[in-house]
Structure 1
Amino acid sequence: VSVNGDEYGTPENLGAKVNTEANESFPFITDDNVLFFSSNGKTGFGGLDVFKMDLNKGTDAINVGEPVNTSKDDFAFTYNAIKKVGFFSSNRDGVDNIYKADPVCNVEALVRVKDAKTGNVIEGAMVMLVDEKQKTISNQTTATNGEIITGVMCNTSYSAQVSKSGYESGVFDVKKAENEQVVVEALLNPIIPIITEKEVILQPIYFEFNRSNITAEGAAELDKLVAVMNEYPEMVIFAKSHTDSRGSDSYNMKLSDRRAKSTVQYLISKGIAKERISGQGFGESEPKVACKSCTEEEHAQNRRSEFLIVKK
């Protein structure tokens, strides 16, 4: 009904989106024009249920669901948008009581990790979300699209600590939000190879256990060596592959030699002339750390590749 001072117009039925042949009662409209009302004629949990309808959009009324609605009568729902609190009545315990309803707030944090130089997404990056007290709430690895998605608390700020082999680690702010998705673009700077007088130093070239095929991470590092050799067209490299001390001497020698040859073949496949790259496996004969009862960290240091500069 329209109201003009003391004058009232003709009441109009709100139509089938709200009304049924049964009873619709206790209307309440929020400041942002959402109508709440109770009905025992629409599909629900039983008795009177609370429904809501966005009058700005004119969509169908929807049941607000549990835990507001039960098999009993639930009615007279009101909501304060400023204080973000609702109150309603229910006879769920056999008598009419007033209940408080706190709104559910959902926020998704999407962290997308990219190479700061190329803009390409980075698969396999580690993304750790921590709250303001530095408590870890999520620890995930990015998928093929370079993304992770996780639920976080509303109106709470976080930081995303992002790391990936071959890149400088970074910390990125995840801003406070409410009922929306927060998108964070995490740009990682690639670590530039160190070129000394004797060698080109890369991040570790990883191989799968007992295998000699180049992994995706290993390929990313070797691509940096390709870039260096393209920058220095006269450079000639000798690749040395080493294993840790586990396994027999002869087995490790053969395994490291296969890995060295895989490294050489990868570089040749990227356009490096075969006269500029050669390699050999040295097994466990030249450990970086001489140890008898080696720790995992010491084994990892010995399990390495070296790229010596024969000619610069």
Structure 2
Amino acid sequence: MRIRFFIILLICYLSGAEAQIRFTPALVYQNIAEKGYTTQEVVTRLANYYYALHLYSQAQTWYEKLVTTVGYMPTAIDYYHYAHTLKELGKNKEAQKQMERFTSVSRLFFTDFIKTAVAPPNPNNRDYKELIGLVLDGENGKEIEGAAITLFDAQMNVFLTTKSDSNSFFVLSDKQSQALFEYGYLEVVKPEYEVSTTPLVFQKTGEMQQIIQLDPLVQEVNTGDNLAITFEIENIHFDYGRLNIRYDASVQLAKILVFLEMNPMVSLDIKVHTDSRGDEDYNMKLSESQAQSIWQWLVDKGIQTKRITAKGYGETQPVYDCENDSSCTEEQHQANKRVEFIIK
């Protein structure tokens, strides 16, 4: 009886272990890049990953690609991280050049932001400003204690520093400084997470609230999870009236392909949905055809047929009830029109 009890416990343990899959998103993106899909998203994710780990030689490779590739649109923070990376590698002349680019892009960003703000900052207002924040795990929403918080001015000079407390809260007030804060950047750093750097503009005096979500360098997925959410795949687009996988769709599907290649014991259920616009029967047939196209693309790339199933659901499983099409916004229709990749 005792042996049987322990066997049952072992089976339960093993079943639970199989359901939990820990993986490093950046390694998925590294493999995607090696397959030739070096989109701005892929390049940025890799640059930020190596930057967070202080692996500056690798970070330099990807930041350089990010800021030099025609068609990419790096942010001010991308230039700043690249400059900091070069400085850490002792390349001070090039680091200064990238800081000048950061300053230029940053100035344009804040100028445009302030022009469109509801209430632009008043530099003559001497009332204090207070920033109250919360730092959470971007994967599971758990509170993060001990994150290093730095408030920089627009030139990335340190303005104020603190750490998130045991409840993940932090408070920064320009009462703590001799100067007033109008706009700049909030940086949040915690080991085992990507670095978060957010531009801030105080449109009025008093209190500003910020919730900072840090992306973990290692994530976990379980049976029933949707990889489209994990990899931020909003949709797989097809040309109108056609079923071929477009290049932009193949870039998204490459995330699923690489994940399956790196986790050979994982199986997926592909579910394709349409919005409620158009004929119901047509939508059902269209979603089924698209599901089979996605299935075939993965099989052609080497994924075993027994590991993936695919089915179209038309408009039968909406996120938003849009039976009366006019009752839904365009964003809600787009949310209904989606592809899910469910771990089985």
The structure that is strand-richer by fraction is: 1
Q: Does the TM-score normalized on the shorter chain lie above 0.5?
A: no
The structure that is helix-richer by fraction is: 2
